[in-house]
């Protein structure tokens, strides 16, 4: 993910908050947290996709077994 400086020029951010470093630091910290959460969400989405694929494989196996006359 991009650093905040890649999106907003630090000097521009200070201008937005009239040079008040407290607010620019809050914005930067919030951005960092959102960035970390975004990365965690991406990892979790990948895990969900992997589990979904495994479930589909198991379901397919069970469907084949249920449709096989030998197992009825």
| 14 contacts 25 by C-beta, under 8 angstroms | no
* Domain coordinates in residue numbering, the chain: 4-71
Q: What is the pLDDT of residues 7-66, one digit of tens each?
A: 667 677 667 766 666 776 777 788 888 888 989 999 999 999 999 999 999 999 988 888
Predicted local confidence at residue 7, as pLDDT: 66
How far is the CA of 18 from the CAs of 3, 32, 69, in angstroms?
22, 21, 77
| 6 contacts 40 by C-beta, under 8 angstroms | no
């Amino acid at each position: 993910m991009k650093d905040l400086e890649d999106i907003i020029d630090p000097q521009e951010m200070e201008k937005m908050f009239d040079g008040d470093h407290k607010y620019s630091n809050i914005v930067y910290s919030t951005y960092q947290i959102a960035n970390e959460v975004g990365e965690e969400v991406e990892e979790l989405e990948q895990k969900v996709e992997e589990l979904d694929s495994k479930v589909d494989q198991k379901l397919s196996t069970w469907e084949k077994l249920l449709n096989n006359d030998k197992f009825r």
